[in-house]
Homo-oligomer: A and B are copies of this chain.
């Protein structure tokens, strides 16, 4: 087997790899992190590197211009090494750190009727144990159980004790002079008929005045951790960061593909656990506690994220008929996952409904309260997939529509995530057709994020820059409309105003991608409503969840036909309902049982198996919709014009 030496500039890292190895694999071996938002499928073009010297085999050159290839550019994930190589890794898009203001500022408190001793599964008991003597030489564990019974009236007869704890028991009891705090976990949600209590820890002295837990939202993009005082039930602090898996794929499909190769699964598992551990350490440090004093975690996220977090292979989620290993994972121990809280703490992943309606949605439906209301709610969470739930306190039906990553800025030439430098809103002058915009972080624009793109589409449509079929009107008199490399395009930012040194534009390909995405979401609404025999106009409230909702302008979204044209007061942004649900489940076994019950009874409609979906989707491909009569406010606006 011939081996080749690959040198990476500017780092100077060198590795030896077999001939035929992909450049991306060589980079990983060299410990270098390449951006691969598409998960190494050769779709996004973000992993382009420059081959300075040596021979390689470019199996795909998607998104590379002939000039770029001439200059030596190659897609690291699609290029095999043929000889010794010298490679330069160009500076890559840097991930900016930005949190929705709501998450930084909110003060989250337990409901006033929260009662830790009743609601909480984690309980602490101080024990003053009689030391053993020749006349009373019961073993240590039996002695501890006896004290629990005598001093706290707890039937600890069949209490579970893990081997790891048992191994420490003799020394903890003796070093603490037989005065210890026992941390117990009692009946969790799992068994209505009662489960054996479990001894989670014993610590010296009286440690009953504080008790900690964490609620986690494992987003595909962002991970959020709430540090919760289990005695008061209040959120004490919040930390958030990008999911460390991002560099291995931006969307769930890319990550599933990555997970199926080699050690991909365990790598992704370690990455997300690493991110969460980092957040937990931050929180512990800021609040002066030991991570070992955290005795419980509740976690939510979509089904792929939960699979990767638990180390479960996610492949079947992606392949028809799209099934998970389990939608209702049993609690596991933190130590099994490598989480840096108490290794014997329970990690309780919230239940999901199916492959594409995960725990984040069950958590959202629960925490938004829609499952308690007699009137009808429509819950939506738009990301790469749009998840939709329709229902009330009696019934719930859900579906997922594959919107694609367009709303997250991927698959769009000048698209980007909602970070500093992203245009988040656009206005087009009706007379001059000149564009104006607002940029996140108030700096020169680098691209457009989802809300910016929706706003741009709406403005182009309303001002007539684009017709209802999405065709740009090149005959209009403005230099902003022109023929580009990929067909007609509209220039949003001239090169001299932006940060990239070139014009920021939207072209026909981008528009088609965006139309497909919005049509998929709207078709989801339609099919879901029709399946239960209602009209969308009967919905009493539309709950918009998730980070995307933070920036969305409802008016714009209705104008392009992404959201139904209903009275504006019916729309409500509910924020990150995934972590709220996770937090509520952490607080009480009653809440946890209700999420499980709700996930169990929520119907899942598989759109790809629904024969009306395609027609609905085609109808929604127009702006705002083929049936314009369903969008009276848009019709009115167009008439004005």
Residues of chain B lying within 8 A (CB to CB) of residue A323: 132, 137-140, 143
Mask: chain A, 181-201; 1 = CB below 8 Å from B; 0 = not: 000000000110001100000
The verdict on A158 contacting chain B, using a C-beta distance below 8 Å, is yes
Q: Flag whether A99 is at the interface (Cβ < 8 A).
A: no
Determine how many copies of this chain the complex contains. Answer: 2
Q: Does A312 contact B (CB under 8 A)?
A: yes
Decide if A336 is an interface residue (CB 8 Å cutoff).
yes
Q: Is A603 an interface residue (CB 8 A)?
A: no
Residues facing B in A308-342 (CB within 8 A) are 310-313, 315-316, 320-330, 332, 336-337
Whether the pair B311, A137 counts as a contact (CB closer than 8 A) is no
**Of B137, B140, B195, B332, the contact of A163 (CB 8 Å cutoff):** B332
Question: A609 contacts which of B135, B327, B329, B609 (Cβ < 8 Å)?
Answer: B135
Residues A122-170 near B (CB distance < 8 A):
132-143, 158, 160-161, 163, 166-167, 169-170
A137, A195, A332, A354: residue with the most chain B Cβ atoms closer than 10 Å? A137
Question: Please, which residues of chain B bring their CB within 8 A of the CB of A139?
Answer: 323-328, 354
Interface flag for A608 (CB, 8 Å): yes
A62 touches B (CB below 8 Å): no
CB of A606 closer than 8 Å to a CB of B: yes
The answer to the question of A171 belonging to the interface, with a C-beta cut-off of 8 Å to chain B, is yes
- Among B137, B316, B324, B329, point to the contact of A321 (Cβ < 8 A): B137
A169 to B314, CA, bound (A): 11
Minimum Cβ distance to chain B for residue A106 (Å):
33
Asked if A355 is at the interface (CB within 8 A of a chain B CB), the reply is yes
Of all chain B residues, the one with the shortest Cβ separation from A604 is B137
CB pair A160–B322 under 8 Å, yes or no, is no
B191 touches A311 (CB 8 A): no
Q: Are A171 and B313 in contact (CB under 8 A)?
A: yes
Given the complex of chains A and B, what is the CA–CA distance between A57 and B324 in angstroms? 67
Q: How far is the CA of A139 from the CA of B310 in the complex (A)?
A: 16
A487 CB to closest chain B CB, in angstroms? Answer: 36
Q: Are A355 and B137 in contact (CB under 8 A)?
A: yes
- Cβ contact within 8 Å between B134 and A321: yes
Please pick, from B158, B163, B191, B322, the residue contacting A191 in the complex, using a CB distance under 8 A: B158
Is there contact, CB below 8 Å, between B327 and A190?
no
Q: A134-B608, A170-B315, A606-B134 are in contact. Are A310 and B140 (CB under 8 A)?
A: no
Contacting residues, chain B, for A606 (C-beta < 8 A): 134, 137
Residue among A195, A320, A330 with the highest chain B CB neighbour number at 10 A: A330
A326 surroundings in chain B (CB, below 8 A):
139-142, 161, 166
Q: How long is the Cα–Cα vector from A158 to B187 in the complex, in angstroms?
A: 13
B170, A313: Cβ atoms under 8 Å?
yes
Q: How far is the CB of A357 from chain B (nearest CB, A)?
A: 11
Contact (Cβ within 8 A) A163 B310: yes
Q: How far is the CA of A190 from the CA of B195 in the complex (A)?
A: 13
Establish whether residues B327 and A142, one from each chain, have CB atoms under 8 Å apart when the complex forms.
yes
- Residues of B near A196 (CB, < 8 A) are 191, 195
Look across to chain B and name the residue whose beta carbon is closest to the beta carbon of A336.
B163
**Which of B142, B325, B608, B609 is in CB contact (< 8 Å) with A170?**
B325
Chain B, Cβ-Cβ closest to A326? B141
**Contact A166 B325, CB 8 Å, known A137-B355, A196-B195, A320-B134:** yes
Smallest beta-carbon distance A573→chain B, Å: 31
Task: With CB as the reference atom, state the residue of chain B lying closest to A160.
Answer: B330
Residue of B nearest to A194 (CB): B193
* A167 CB contact (under 8 Å) in B140, B312, B322, B604: B312
**Would you call A325 and B169 a contact (CB within 8 A)?**
yes
A327 CB → nearest B CB, Å: 5
**For A310, A325, A327, which residue has the most chain B Cβ atoms within 10 angstroms?**
A325
Instruction: Name the B residues within 8 Å of A320 (CB-CB).
Output: 134
Q: Which residues of B contact A355 (CB under 8 A)?
A: 137
A241-291, CB < 8 A from B: none
- CB pair A140–B316 under 8 Å, yes or no, is yes
Residues on B with beta carbons closer than 8 Å to the beta carbon of A609:
134-135
Name the distance in Å between A417's Cβ and chain B's nearest Cβ.
31
CB contacts under 8 Å to B, within A357-391, are: none
A139 vs chain B, min Cβ distance (A): 5
Does the CB pair B190–A330 fall under 8 Å? no
Judging by beta carbons under 8 Å apart, are B311 and A163 in contact?
yes
> What is the bound-complex CA distance between A310 and B190, given in angstroms?
29
In the complex, residue of chain B having the shortest beta-carbon distance to the beta carbon of A163: B332
- A406 to B464 CA separation, bound complex (whole angstroms): 105
Among A141, A160, A170, A332: residue with most chain B CB under 10 A: A170
Residues of chain B within 8 A (CB-CB) of A336 are: 163
Complex Cα spacing A132 to B321, Å: 7
Q: Closest residue of chain B to A134, judged by CB?
A: B609
Q: Which residues of A contact B (CB under 8 A)?
A: 132-143, 158, 160-161, 163, 166-167, 169-171, 174, 190-191, 195-196, 310-313, 315-316, 320-330, 332, 336-337, 354-355, 604, 606, 608-609
**Contacts A137-B321, A161-B330, A174-B316 supplied; 18 other A-B pairs, CB < 8 Å:** A132-B323, A134-B320, A134-B321, A134-B608, A137-B322, A137-B604, A138-B323, A139-B323, A139-B325, A139-B328, A139-B354, A140-B324, A141-B326, A158-B190, A161-B326, A163-B336, A170-B312, A171-B313
